[in-house]
Amino acid sequence: MPFRLLEPDKGIFLAETSSTNSLLKGKEFPPGTWILADFQSRGRGRKNRTWSVIGDEPFLFSGKLRYSGELPSPNLVSLFVGVSVSKALLSAYPSLHSSGKLKIKWPNDIFVNDKKVCGILIETEKEGEEWDWILGIGVNLFGNRSPEELPEAGFVTSLDSESGRRNRFLETLLPLLNDAVLSLSDGKEYLSFVNDRLLWKGQTVSFRQDGAEQTGVLLEVDVSGRLLVKVDSGRILEFIDSPEDFRSLA
C-alpha cells in the first residue's frame, strides 16, 4: 500500500495550539497521527488566508499521511478530502439532507445555506523519497451567531438537537479520509458527488483573468479535478486553482 493511513489510536487531543497543521509537521509525529484541538490562535487557510474559530463547537483537525511512489492525479487529493468531510457531515447531521443545503465550492470549501462552514488546507513535505501529506480541516459545527466581520461564515447546524456531535463526526470522518486517498486512481463516485453538489453549477460566474474581468457559466469538474467554465465567446476554460475574485452573479 503506497499510503500510510490515519490510525484511530494515534489521535492527540489539545485544548489549544497555534496551528494544528504547523504542529503536525514536526518530525516527532509519525505518519498516521492526527490532532484535534479546541482552539488555535494562528489557523491558516489556502492562499495565506486565516481560519477564524467561531461558534460553540469548532472542529480543528490535522492528519498526517505518507505516500511513496508516483501519486495519481494529485489535483484530486483536496477535492476528495472535501467529499469525505461532506459525507461525514451528512452522516452526523441529519438536517443537512434537506434539498440543496450542503454544497461544495471547488476545490474543497463546504457551504451550508450559502455560508462557508468548512475550509481545507493540504500541505506536503518530502521525507527522503516519500511525501508527507498534512490534511488540515476546520469546520464550524454548531453555533447561532456569526461575527459581523465574517458575514460569509456560517455553521453546519444551529439546531440544539444536533449540538454535541463533534466526536460522532470525528469517528465517521477518519475512515472516510483514508478511503478518499485510496480511491485516487478510480474516483468516479467522488467526482459524481462533487458535481451533484457543486456550488454555482449552471450559474453565471465572474472572475478576473490577466487583470480583466470575465464572465461565464460554471459547467462541472472534470476527471482531473479541474473546474470547467464556458466563457461568453464559447471557449471552455480549465482551472487548476481558484480564479481571482471568483463569485456567482446569480
Could you tell me the CATH number of the domain that includes residue 36? 3.30.930.10
Label residue 52 by pLDDT band (50, 70, 90). confident
Q: Is 152 helix (H, G, I), strand (E, B) or coil?
A: coil
- The answer to whether residue 46 scores a pLDDT higher than 60 is no
In the block, which residue shows the cell 468548512?
118
Label residue 27 by pLDDT band (50, 70, 90). confident
Q: Mean pLDDT score of the chain, rounded to an integer? A: 90
- The answer to whether residue 160 scores a pLDDT higher than 90 is yes
* Cell reading at 1: 500500500
Do both 55 and 134 map to the same domain? yes
Label residue 231 by pLDDT band (50, 70, 90). very high
Average pLDDT rounded to a whole number, residues 116-139: 90
Secondary structure string (H, E, C) spanning 19-54: CHHHHHCCCCCCCCCEEEECCECCCECHHHCECCCC
CATH number for the domain harbouring residue 215: 2.30.30.100
C-alpha closest to that of 100 among 114, 82, 89, 88: 114
Q: Are strands 204-209 and 212-221 parallel, antiparallel or unpaired?
A: antiparallel
pLDDT of residue 50: 66
What's the domain range around 75? 3-197
Do both 217 and 155 map to the same domain? no
This prediction's pTM: 0.93
196 — phi, psi (to 5°)?
A: -70, -30
Do both 212 and 113 map to the same domain? no
Do both 27 and 148 map to the same domain? yes
Do both 217 and 98 map to the same domain? no
- The answer to whether residue 172 scores a pLDDT higher than 70 is yes
Domains identified in the chain, total number: 2
Q: Are 180 and 80 in contact (CB under 8 A)?
A: yes
pLDDT of residue 47: 54
- The answer to whether residue 54 scores a pLDDT higher than 80 is yes
Average pLDDT rounded to a whole number, residues 177-186: 90
Query: Please, which residues have CB within 8 angstroms of residue 3's CB and are 6 or more apart in sequence?
Result: 65, 66, 67, 178, 181, 182
Provide the residue type at 170 as one letter: L
Do both 226 and 149 map to the same domain? no
pLDDT of residue 169: 98
Do both 220 and 178 map to the same domain? no
The H-assigned helical ranges of 49-75 are none
Do both 193 and 237 map to the same domain? no
Average pLDDT rounded to a whole number, residues 186-192: 91
Neighbour count for residue 134 (Cβ, 10 Å): 21
Do both 237 and 154 map to the same domain? no
Label residue 13 by pLDDT band (50, 70, 90). very high
